[in-house]
Structure 1
Amino acid sequence: MAAPMEETRGLFGQGVRAVLGSWAALQIAVEHGFGGAHGREKAEWMVGAVEQYFHSNAALEPDEVEDFLAEVLNNEFDTIIEDGSLAEVSQQLQSLFAHCQLGEGPALAEAIARLTHWQQEVGRAATQARPAEGSSSEEEEERPEEVPAAGSQAGPAPPWGTREVGAGTPPPSTLEQLGWSQDM
């Protein structure tokens, strides 16, 4: 059996994957090829890079995590995030890492399960809201593509870029139900 710290470290990796897999800005960058031909691989690499960043740096401040995420997205995906989602994603990652540092495996697993469940529900709603293939009207064809709201998240976790994004950010009460604390 794995030691408690190794177990929570593995759970933290799963949490990073779930958070980044639900981040609309990253998903849009991958889906639209902003990372080039290897965008999906870059998104996978980013999971490990974020995990390593947390384990290699003690007592990270929220702005440090935001700066790191912004730098990776700018360097690897030629994308600048200005929708406010950097702060939200940073806070989610820091909350997960705090559980990891405290050896709170069950709390970490529960937070990941809630996030994954919420992603699946949003993904189902987005799938049901999409019109069937070949059933578009002229009005739908003329309508411009909708851009997701700031900080929006949708769909299941990776494989990267295999789903549409566009569902709105959950209200703060939903974030609290997922176990994300607003005050870090």
Structure 2
Amino acid sequence: MVDVVQQFFHDNADLQRGEVEDFLSDIMNQEFNTVVEDGSLPQLCDALLQMFSQWQQGALQTLRNTIDSLSQKKSERAKVTPPPPQSDEDEDEEPQVMECEPSAPSVSRKADPPEEEEGWTVVKKK
């Protein structure tokens, strides 16, 4: 995902937040079967655009400081649960929980994604 996002930024000049948000939303939908509804995508896109701009301008110390401040933020985590199983076979399984930083550019998983190919994971605020 990192390489694809990096290539997107290099291939497109003067990106706007909405364009980056749509791109990331599509990646999350298509690659991870995840719909992000917790408001973190605009924050993430703003941070990515800011860091890319700093890199383009050669402001590497400012970029390092921005990355350090993002990695040190401790904010409320969103709780993510998969949709309820559609078949009776999955009744014995525990719900899977995944946590993500709404303001950080990465998502950390506590459980594997749901086995269902047609099911979608929805990221919502607690």
State the TM-score, normalizing by the size of structure 2. 0.60
* 1:153-173 superposed Cα distances (whole Å, 9 cap, x missing partner): 58xx78x5369xxxx8xxxxx
Instruction: Give 1:82's aligned residue.
Output: 37
Equivalent-residue separation in structure 2 for 1:98 and 1:146 (angstroms) = 35
* Superposed counterparts of 1:4-153, under 5 Å: 46-118=1-73, 122=74, 152=102
CA deviation after TM superposition for structure 1 residue 117, in Å: 2.4
**Residue identity in the other structure for 1:152:** P
Distance 1:74 1:147, change over 3 A: closer
Secondary structure (helix, strand or coil) at the match of 1:80 reads strand
* 1:108-158 superposed Cα distances (whole Å, 9 cap, x missing partner): 01111122222xxx39xx9xxxxxxxxxxxxxxxxx999879x7358xx78
CA deviation after TM superposition for structure 1 residue 72, in Å: 0.2
Provide the aligned length of Structure 1 versus Structure 2: 93
Equivalent-residue separation in structure 2 for 1:70 and 1:145 (angstroms) = 22
Distance 1:113 1:59, change over 3 A: same
Equivalent-residue separation in structure 2 for 1:86 and 1:61 (angstroms) = 13
Equivalent-residue separation in structure 2 for 1:81 and 1:99 (angstroms) = 27
**Residue identity in the other structure for 1:55:** H
Q: Determine which structure has the larger strand proportion and give its number.
A: 2
Q: Determine which structure has the larger helix proportion and give its number.
A: 1
Gaps spanning 5+ residues in structure 1: where? 1-45, 127-143, 169-184
Bigger relative contact order (CA 8 A; separation at least 6): 1
Secondary structure (helix, strand or coil) at the match of 2:15 reads coil
What is the RMSD of the two structures over their aligned residues, measured on CA atoms? 3.4
